[in-house]
Chain A
């Protein structure tokens, strides 16, 4: 039972990450490989507050949401000035920069050794896995509802219009940059919340948990599930969490399972880009202009 609860918690956290990145990639057409860095910002902000200041978990989650939103907007500032595949390079640099900071600002992040002893989510005097599951499921529901409202509202239709023909959206008087900045802040806020929940559940974080490979994995979830499909990335999130478990069942060690998971993602992305660039369930085909 504990095992199933644990897997469900991870599926929900990765579901929040994938859904928030999908808002970015699938609904505005902006490719980012810096989502794990935003996830890490939330995790570190929340952990630093709960270890050094203390207080209820709601405070640290709120701080992670605000800081995640701020960093999301910060990422958008250079990213939205660039077009096509060069966006990936900008987000790579942002991911690399934050990863370096996680490693080097030891006062806040603990450096390469990481932060240990992060207090767990406690409610009704208990910090059992089931309590964490309820809190994570609540955060997941709030995030998904908020994202659903965004994509089905007039704002969502403007986002799709921007993605399909930005110049047309501009000519219709839509404030393209502002909308993209808002989307980036929302995606950052949800990634920050996911980071906070993750850190409080696992109790220990270090920079390797928020590296480029993790960003690639989150992007893979979105691409494989289908960018622009609301439910596709959620299916992808279940796939990314459960796949290593399946690989453990066929006798691979944990370290090898992680490697082979990435190999399968690599094959899936390459295959999809050749045969079905819009992903399994998606409706948005990547066609970003080159530089």
Chain B
């Protein structure tokens, strides 16, 4: 039982990091934006390329990989999203355009690296630690700690910094924000870059533990969206609570039905939530027609 609870906590912190990153992207774009998956996929493959093909030390690869992923996010923001913003594109168009970019990224990566599983980790696993009767690896302990720091930073950014408050104002009422002189483009770009940094952190942490494939971006998106929809997509705290529910569902699914049903449990949970309570457990938009 202790191990089961430890597994839920480890999974929940990893999903919470994904969820707050996705929630921030949603706050910036007001759309279910596939750039989350694009960046989630690009970051670990850039690190993989730098560490294996360019032969840079691992930590240098991670730093350069972060910088390159942020550069990619900035390019996407300037070339794609600003032109959609100028045309006042509705959320569905933004989503489909970002989906096109994800298709490009996924297939370019598959063409270059192949579709087989790759790993970021170049070293063997240390013997597991035993904490309060639960066993976890060094890597799980480090990634859980980093994920908690990432989630805390995201919450602080959105709730307690001037940039976070301006972002909320700029995306809630664009006309009013423009009228009072908020530099909307700069605020949105900053928010997107913070989200990109969180996505990069999440992707590298997961990439160190689990094998990478060109479809990992989509799997992460499903986990993040499910957590956000359960907790309420307009609320960063809700995303964290949603992550706990997703982790609980996923681990319970593995425990009861076996590891191969873990994905099925998440999809079923997502459909169930949307069917029963579309606005999430804490808050969020009402997704229903005519209300």
Contact = CB atoms under 8 A, between A and B. Distances in A.
Interface of A: 31, 77-78, 80-86, 88-90, 92-94, 96-97, 100-101, 103-104, 166-167, 170, 212, 216, 223, 255-256, 259-260, 262-263, 265-271, 273-274, 277, 286-291
Interface in B199-237: 215, 218, 222, 225-226, 229, 233
A85 B100 contact: no
B271 A93 contact: yes
The binding surface of chain A is classed by DSSP as: helix
B175 interface: no
> Which of A88, A256, A262, A270 has the most chain B CB atoms closer than 10 A to its own CB?
A270
Contact of B83 (A31, A92, A255, A274): A274
Contacts of A103: 260
The 4 closest A-B pairs by CB, nearest first: A290-B91, A266-B103, A270-B100, A269-B100
Nearest to B108: A263
B4 interface: no
Contacts of A94: 267, 271
Contacts of A167: 290
Nearest to B286: A291
A284 B160 CA distance: 43
Given A89-B270, A96-B263, A96-B267, A269 B96 contact: yes
B270 A93 contact: yes
Interface in B9-37: 30-32
B93 A259 contact: no
B91 A85 contact: yes
6 contacts: A94-B271, A216-B103, A223-B96, A287-B90, A290-B90, A291-B233
A224 to B, nearest CB: 11
Interface string B49-91: 0000000000000000000000000000000100110010111
Given A103-B260, A286-B90, A83 B287 contact: yes
Given A269-B103, A274-B84, A90 B97 contact: no
A88 to B, nearest CB: 6
Contacts of B218: 212
A226 to B, nearest CB: 14
Contact of A97 (B271, B278, B289): B271
A16 B202 CA distance: 41
Interface string B261-280: 10110111011001100100
Nearest to A286: B92
Contact of A291 (B104, B110, B285): B285
Contact of A256 (B32, B84, B94, B111): B111
Contacts of A290: 30-31, 90-92
A17 B40 CA distance: 31
Contacts of A212: 215, 218
Contacts of A31: 92
Contacts of A83: 287-289
A81 B100 contact: no
B157 interface: no
A77 B271 CA distance: 10
A101 B103 contact: no
